[in-house]
Amino acid sequence: MGILETIKDPLDLKKLASGDLPELAAEIRDLLVSTVARTGGHLGPNLGVVELTIALHRVFDSPRDRIMFDTGHQAYVHKMLTGRAGDFGTLRQEGGLSGYPSQAESEHDVIENSHASTALSYADGLAKAFTLRGETDRTAVAVIGDGALTGGMAWEALNNIAGRKDLPLIVVVNDNGRSYSPTIGGLASHLSTLRMTQRYEQALELVKNNLGRVPVVGAPLYETLHGVKKGLKDIFAPQVMFEDLGLKYVGPIDGHDEAAVEAALRRARAYRGPVIVHVITHKGHGYAHAENHDEDCFHSPQPFDVETGEERARPHSWTNVFSEEMVKIGAQREDVVAITAAMLHPVGLAAFADAHPERIYDVGIAEQHALTSAAGLALGGLHPVVAIYATFLNRAYDQLLMDVALHRLPVTVVLDRAGVTGDDGPSHNGMWDLSMLQVVPGLSIAVPRDAVRLRELLAESVGIEDGPSVVRFPKGALPREIEAVGHLGGMDVLRAGDPDVLLVAVGPMADICMDAATLLDAQGISATVVDPRWVKPLDEALVLAAAAHKLVVVVEDGGRSGGVGDAVARMLRDADVDVPVRTYGIPQRFLDHAKRQKILSDIGLTGQDLAREITEAVAKRSPVLERHPARQAQ
């Protein structure tokens, strides 16, 4: 039996002798690599926090002490040490362990955060609650990466934390110089200098060793010199920003020296006030293929071969097509610039950066700043393209509304991973944007159904000069290309039918709608399938098309409430078109993690599900259908 198998609770970890910890760390790394090689997931960040997480659970008493990870993708080791090592093989599988902390899994999981820069605010509130309730034996601990510290919300929280000297709160800065890719910006440069500068510590040690030998005056003189620590830091390293905020600072500490981290955390806990513990770690530590992976240290690899580190081949994806098209647009338009929020490779802008290095801006994990900076670029005569995950647009909604749209600025926002994403769980499904964005004045929204339409709509979008635009597409492999058989205004007619049902297929739902139309034929129901291409504003031709049919059905991979379906229904009401409208999309609830196709099936977004529901809806309005041979045979 390995040591890890004996850890059913953090109390078991506390009972281990310090000499057992290196073997435990090795076992944890072996399980991380072997599992993520099969399931995919966040490998590099977790390899980097093994010793840190062991130290956290040896020093603090979870769940009474509240340990939070920012972001939660670095919590795999935490899961193992809180009784879930035996289930770790189910990581990111339907019904198995989530790739992020999950309150449903364990009382040790405090917050289900996968959006960065939030843990300090949670910790601030928790620590204030402990103080107010007189719970003097409890501590709030926030583990935050240097990448997440580039987010403005983290600094808003630090500003408040620094103002309360009595808060039982410890901030562990897990400093590995990376978020997905190397962390950028002034903060990153400062921390990088601290990582590389040991002169202060060496100088202090030298003074201590030499003066300690001087009788009588040695020790007092050393204490005096130690008291001018801040001055020495000014000489030997850049001024420590955290101390400038009024926060107690400990570090930098070697994050792979468990004993050193443990000692630092014990000192911080004893202080009983807000403390920054600055820990230097290495993303991918202990697995050579991750350590040497230049792009992102195996931040979030596909399943891979453990021996070679070679990832399973990825199919040509929506992101690949966007990447290729951006390079072409950049070559044609010198005014087009690109912005990423610390995700250059994941959103497909790396090729643009290589081709046009002077026109790419990585703003760190700061989506709000990204949008308002884009507004400034547009005011300066450029056309910015901001590429982010759809779920992260939630954070920059106000900036898109009030800083971009209010000024009618030509900014294009490209939303990757829109709709159901699957394995990453409830926080990553990009299901909110089509509902939120319907209320933004002057905004145009394009939803391509395949690779050809993505190229077309991206080009059309960057051609809009009198307001902002959005292009959204899902995660993963490209669907089959569906050519139009005709046009209604600016809409593509994908299938012409008799005036029974008008199927409005929003973007990648086209394939599902075409399947449903074929199944409806067998029930004696003829369906016309149209792809609106632009879902905001909707094409006026949709009104005439709807009026010619008995039922309108809108199918989208966004939330049903306030989405495209509701916009279509409102458009028809305003035009006094009394045709009934049925809407199908993602229910407004947080979806458990599973494969995309399984989730779509579970929520009824398959051709078969749609055909059955539409048949029932039509039958209620056309009793003659009940006598159709296909229905009689059922």
Residue 282's φ and ψ, nearest 5 degrees, are -125, 115
Residue 236's pLDDT is: 39
* List of long-range contacts for 597-603, beta carbons under 8 Å, 24+ apart: 598/94, 598/422, 599/420, 599/422, 600/420, 600/512, 600/557, 603/420
How far is C-alpha 281 from the geometric centre of its chain's CA atoms?
22
Catalytic residue among 29, 58, 128, 395: 395
As given in the structure block, the two tokens for residue 199 are: 């002169």
Q: With contact defined as beta carbons under 8 Å apart, do 485 and 510 qualify?
A: no
Catalytic site residue from 66, 79, 92, 283: 283
DSSP secondary structure code for residue 489 in this structure: T
Q: Would you list which residues are annotated within the binding site for thiamine diphosphate?
A: 73, 114-116, 147-148, 176, 287, 367
Three-class DSSP labels, 334-346? CCEEEEECCCCCC
DSSP string, 547-605: HTSSEEEEEEEEESTTSHHHHHHHHHHHTT----EEEEEE-SSPPPP--HHHHHHHTT-
Q: Which helix (H) or strand (E) holds 161?
A: helix 152-162
Record the pTM: 0.83
CA distance 618 to 634: 16
Residues of the chain with pLDDT under 70: 1, 114, 177-242, 623-634
Which residue of the set 359, 367, 475, 556 is catalytic? Answer: 367
Q: Which of 434, 460, 430, 378 has its CA nearest to residue 555?
A: 434
Q: Is the peptide bond before 63 cis (omega within 30 degrees of 0)?
A: yes
Residue whose structure tokens are 């399947």: 515
Instruction: Tell me if 388 sits within 8 A of 340, measured CB to CB.
Output: yes
Question: By three-state DSSP, how is residue 178 classified?
Answer: strand
Whole-angstrom Cα distance, residue 331 to residue 238? 41
CA distance 391 to 562: 16
Provide Rg for the chain, Cα atoms: 28
* Gap between the Cα atoms of 174 and 163, Å rounded: 23
**The predicted structure's pLDDT at residue 207:** 44
Give SS3 for 138: coil
Structural tokens at position 458: 């991206």
Phi, psi of 206 (to 5 degrees): -60, -45
Q: Dihedrals φ, ψ of 37, to 5°? A: -60, -30
Q: Using an 8 Å Cβ cutoff, are 549 and 579 in contact?
A: yes
Please give the C-alpha separations between residue 330 and each of 324, 351, 364, 407, 504, in angstroms, as whole numbers. Answer: 10, 11, 22, 24, 33
Contact 387, 363 (CB under 8 A): no
Best CA proximity match to 62, nearest among 5, 7, 9, 117: 9
Find all residues with CB under 8 Å of 288, minimum gap 6, and list them. Answer: 309
For residue 92, what is the DSSP state?
A: T
Concerning whether 107 is annotated as a catalytic residue, the answer is no
Of 502, 509, 556, the C-alpha closest to 530 is 502
* Strand locations in 177-325 (E): 248-254, 275-280
Q: Which two tokens stand for residue 250?
A: 């400990």
Please indicate whether residue 314 is annotated as part of the active site: no
Q: Which amino acid is at 510?
A: A
* 12 vs 553: CA distance, rounded Å: 57
Task: Tell me the binding residues.
Answer: 73, 114-116, 146-148, 176, 287, 367
Q: 441 preceded by cis ω (within 30°)?
A: no
| 499-529 pLDDT, tens digit each | 899 999 999 999 999 999 999 999 899 999 9
Listed in sequence order, the residues at least 6 apart from 212 whose beta carbon sits closer than 8 Å to its beta carbon are: 218, 219, 222
Alpha-carbon span 208 to 228, nearest angstrom: 13
Q: What is the DSSP string of 509-526?
A: GHHHHHHHHHHHHTTT--
Does residue 479 contact residue 447 with C-beta atoms inside 8 Å? no
Q: Is the dihedral of CA 353, 357, 361, 365 positive or negative?
A: positive
Give the other-Cβ count within 10 Å of 115's Cβ.
Answer: 20
273 and 64 in contact (C-beta within 8 Å)? no
* 84-92: long-range pairs with CB below 8 Å, 24+: 85/4, 85/5, 85/7, 85/31, 86/5, 88/31, 88/35, 89/35, 89/38, 89/39, 91/35, 91/36, 91/39, 91/41, 92/39, 92/40, 92/41, 92/423, 92/424, 92/593
Residue 367 a catalytic site member:
yes
What is the greatest pairwise CA distance in the chain? 108
